[in-house]
Each structure stands twice: as C-alpha cells, then as structure tokens.
C-alpha cells in the first residue's frame, strides 16, 4: 500500500480556512455554498462570464491578499514583497508570451479601469475619442454618456451598417470629421471578427491612438482563432475573468509601439506613461491574490489543452446560432464568429427581460440585451445575448446546443407576457425545461469540480 502523500501547507490552509468559515460564519458560508451549487446546476450562458478552474479560484483566496505592495516588481514602496514580486513577474511574463506583447501591466483591478488608464494616458478632459456605441455592441467605457468616458471626454460613436455589421466606413468618416485623439475598438455584444488593421489605418490617417479592448475575445485571440490586435493597436486591454479563465481583474498590453515616444509627455515612452498612470495615478497597492490568479489563468491559456477549449467555444456558439435559425429565430448578423449569439426575441413578441427571467427560472442563465436599432430601453430590451465560454468548460458538444435551443424554444413558446416585465410560463414547459437542464448538467459536469451533494 502506498502512503498518502502529506498535505502541503496550502492544502491544509485551504481546508482549515473553509472549516473555520463554516464555524464562525454559518450564515455567509451557507450563501456561498448555495452559490457553489447553483453554478453546478445551471447552464451558464452569460457571454461575459465563464467558469474559472479551481486552481485559479484558490489563488484569489491566498495570502498575497495580506501584502501591501505599491510599485512594481523590484521597485516596491513596501518590504515583504520577495514572493509577491515573483508572482507579479510570472503573470507579466506569461501574459507577454501568450499574446506576443512587449509590455504588460497586470495591476488594473478591472478592464474598465484599464480602459480609464489608457484614456487618461492619451486624452485630456474635453478631448475627443471615437468608440463604438453601446447600443451597437460597444461598452460603457467606450464613450457612453453613462460612464466617465462619455462625461469627461467628447465621445463620438460609430455603429453598425444596414447589415448589422460594424460600419468601418462610418468610423472612418467620423474620424476624419472629428479628429479624435483616441479610437477605441472592441465590443461586448457583436458576434463578428474585428478588423484591427483597418482601425489602425484610420487612426494613422488622423493622428489618433488605437485602444483595442479584447475583453470578450481574449481567449480566442490567445488561441489564434481571432486575429490579434497587439501590433495593430497602440494599447490592448482585457479583463482576465471571461475568456482567460483567470483572476477577476484587468490588464494592459502594448506590442510593437511600446517604446514609441508619447505624444503629450516629452521624454516618456507609451509603456512608461501606462506604468505611471496605473500606479500611482489611479491605484495604490494592487490585489496581489488576483494577480496570482491572473498568473494561473495565463498558465491555463498557455497550456497545450487551451486551443481545444477555444475551438470548442466557437464550435458551440456556431451550433447554437444555427439551431436558433432552424427554429425560426432572428439571430443578429445571422450567425457568429466568436462565443456570442444575439437573438431577437421581440420578433416572437417577447421582451428581452421576460425571456431572461423565464429562462433563469428554468436554469438557463442568459442576459437581456439591446439589439441593433432597438426601440426598447436597456432595462427591457428586444433581445437576449448568449455565450458559450461556460459550456465549453463543461465539454459540451455541438449536438447539445440543439438540445439547449429546444429547451429555450419550449420555454419561450409557453411564455405568456402580460406586460414588458410581467410574464408567466406554463408549468408543464417549466418542468420539462428544468428536467432537461438537470440532465445536461449531469451529463456534462463542470469537470474539475467535485460532484455536488444535495
């Protein structure tokens, strides 16, 4: 008989920590347990979410959280950072290697703050930026009036053409007219590949910088399935918790332009300006546990198996889109190149919010989303957005997507809408859907998790 290997310090710490939480705070630990079980029992199809590996999740809970470490590896303002420096340097090195970047800053707490860092590195209040309209599939931080990006800066928005495709000609014309100092590309609800080179050509013509926010497609970029903006954009930002399956946070990368002199900061390169804007301009000490989780996420993305995960993400979303089309739904742009599928549910007389809530009641988690030229407000919407990051981690197969759409169609076909936010689903359809979701979740468990009890 082989002796069980002795537990490492980390394993004993993690086990004791969970035990202690359960003892000292049963109220909170019960809620956390419910959330753990919820995730195992639902189909997570919110396009901006994913299912991180436990090896990333545990990094978020580790002792680097206790270390205050302002500054950068080798140049800290606090003592006690020997291992912290190793962790951060590992995250930087892995990020640069995976994306072919010359520079990476892994300290931003979110992708939104990473975008703000780039904006405040390239623009002064009142300067003009050009970004994709939120309603067309952009992001709040790309110039929406609801965010600092649209309030501090003069934000001009480009959108979609009559085929619901990104309107590069409009972006070009607006750039010529408004002479922005920064052009932002990257989307949150656009299912098609983005032509980074075209944005760079537009920017070069008007003397603008390009920020590529790859938050939604970072994993596909890392795997070479979506083209990379690293050497087209001056700056590339992403969050690390969607398609990179790592810590919750953001990062900033620069490719070939890293050592270009900054337009408005004599004597400084673009990389130096970004370093300074992250710390000390916007942040003090970063969350070093999240940085450890980012390093682990990059370990996963850099591993041999990741390309297959990324390929599966797209195979599943294309199967999902095709199944919706087969059922007579209008899929925006008719299909997808990435993990996103946007479906017009108003065509079936259902608001996005009612579809979202009815599906969640049955264990399918999607989100309401405005569709191009939507007449409904963001709290109601005419569409739903679905994504396949979480399904790929369950190793679902394209044929499972046909099942998913069968279930979704059954629920939506038995939804009685009494108001924009009021609905009722026939009890028989709801029961059928719940049973089918339970079957799929059992058939395709989140593989790296232990089975869920109770």
- Footprint of ligand DSN on this chain (CB under 6 A)? 48, 139, 188
Report, in this order, helix, strand and coil percent for the chain, each rounded to 5: 45, 15, 40
Query: Tokens representing 438?
Result: 């339970």
Is the CB of residue 42 less than 8 Å from the CB of residue 356?
A: no
Residue 79 Cβ vs ligand DSN, minimum distance, rounded to whole Å: 36
Residue (232 or 370) nearer to ligand DSN, CB: 370
Q: Which residue is nearest to ligand DSN (CB)?
A: 48
Q: CB 188 → ligand DSN: shortest distance, Å?
A: 4
- In the complex, the smallest distance separating the C-beta of residue 169 from ligand DSN, rounded to whole angstroms, is 26
Q: Which is nearer to ligand DSN, 139 or 277 (CB)?
A: 139
Nearer to ligand DSN, 299 or 387 (CB): 387
List Cα–Cα distances, 393 to 50, 201, 367, 441, 446, in angstroms.
8, 37, 19, 12, 7
Whats the size of the chain, residue-wise? 454
**Integer Cα distance of 229 and 186 in angstroms:** 10
For 31, counting Cβ atoms within 10 Å of its Cβ (0-12 exposed, 13-18 middle, 19+ buried), the class is exposed
Measured distance CA(194)–CA(168) in Å, rounded: 10
Residues 6+ apart with CB under 8 A from 77: 70, 71
Q: Report the DSSP beta bridge partners of residue 43.
A: 364
In the bound state with ligand DSN, the residue whose beta carbon lies nearer, of 181 and 370, is 370
For tokens 């988690």, name the residue. 365
Q: Least Å distance between CB 66 and ligand DSN?
A: 28
Select 164 or 213, whichever has its Cβ closest to ligand DSN.
213
Min CB(431)–ligand DSN separation in Å: 30
Q: What DSSP element (H or E) covers 365?
A: strand 364-365
Collapse the DSSP code of 340 into the 3-class scheme (helix H, G, I; strand E, B; otherwise coil) and give the result.
strand
DSSP structural state of residue 298: H
Nearer to ligand DSN, 289 or 389 (CB): 389
> Considering beta carbons, is residue 56 or 115 the nearer one to ligand DSN?
115
Assess contact for 154 and 129: CB atoms under 8 A.
Answer: yes
CB of 139 to ligand DSN, least distance (A): 5
């Amino acid at each position: 008989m082989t002796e069980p290997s002795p537990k490492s310090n980390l394993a004993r710490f993690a086990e004791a920590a969970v035990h202690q939480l359960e003892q000292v705070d049963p109220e909170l630990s019960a809620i956390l347990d419910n959330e753990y079980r919820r995730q195992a029992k639902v189909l997570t199809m919110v396009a901006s979410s994913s299912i991180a590996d436990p090896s990333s999740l545990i990094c978020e809970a580790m002792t680097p959280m206790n270390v205050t470490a302002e500054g950068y590896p080798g140049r800290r303002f606090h003592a006690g950072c020997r291992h912290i420096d190793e962790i951060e340097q590992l995250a930087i090195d892995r990020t640069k290697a995976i994306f072919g970047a010359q520079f990476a800053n892994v300290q931003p707490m979110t992708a939104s703050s990473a975008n703000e860092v780039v904006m405040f590195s390239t623009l002064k209040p009142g300067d003009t930026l050009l970004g994709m309209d939120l309603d067309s599939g952009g992001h709040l931080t790309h110039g929406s009036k609801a965010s600092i990006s649209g309030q501090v800066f003069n934000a001009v928005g480009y959108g979609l053409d009559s085929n619901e495709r990104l309107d590069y000609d409009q972006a070009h014309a607006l750039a010529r007219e408004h002479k922005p100092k920064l052009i932002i590309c990257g989307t949150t609800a656009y299912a098609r590949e983005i032509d980074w080179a075209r944005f760079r050509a537009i920017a070069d013509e008007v003397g603008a910088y390009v920020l590529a926010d790859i938050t939604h497609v970072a994993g596909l970029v890392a795997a070479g399935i979506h083209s990379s903006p690293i050497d087209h954009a001056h700056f590339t930002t992403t969050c690390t918790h969607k398609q990179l399956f790592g810590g919750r946070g953001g990062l900033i990368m620069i490719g070939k332009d890293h050592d270009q002199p900054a337009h408005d900061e004599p004597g400084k390169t673009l990389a130096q300006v970004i370093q300074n804007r992250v710390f000390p301009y916007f942040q003090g000490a970063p969350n070093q546990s999240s940085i450890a989780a980012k390093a682990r996420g990059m370990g996963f993305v850099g591993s041999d198996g990741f390309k297959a995960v990324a390929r599966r993400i797209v195979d599943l979303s294309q199967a999902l889109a095709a199944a919706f089309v087969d059922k007579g739904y209008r899929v925006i742009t008719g299909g997808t190149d990435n993990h996103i599928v946007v479906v017009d549910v108003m065509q079936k007389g259902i608001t996005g919010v009612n579809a979202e809530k009815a599906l969640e009641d049955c264990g399918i988690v999607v989100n309401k989303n405005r569709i191009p030229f939507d007449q409904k407000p963001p709290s109601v919407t005419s569409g739903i957005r679905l994504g396949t990051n979480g399904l790929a981690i369950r190793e679902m197969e394209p044929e499972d997507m046909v099942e998913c759409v069968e279930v979704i169609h059954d629920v939506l076909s038995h939804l009685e809408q009494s108001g924009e936010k009021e609905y009722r689903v026939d009890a028989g359809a709801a029961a059928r859907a719940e049973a089918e979701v339970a079957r799929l979740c059992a058939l395709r468990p989140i593989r790296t998790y232990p089975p869920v009890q109770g």
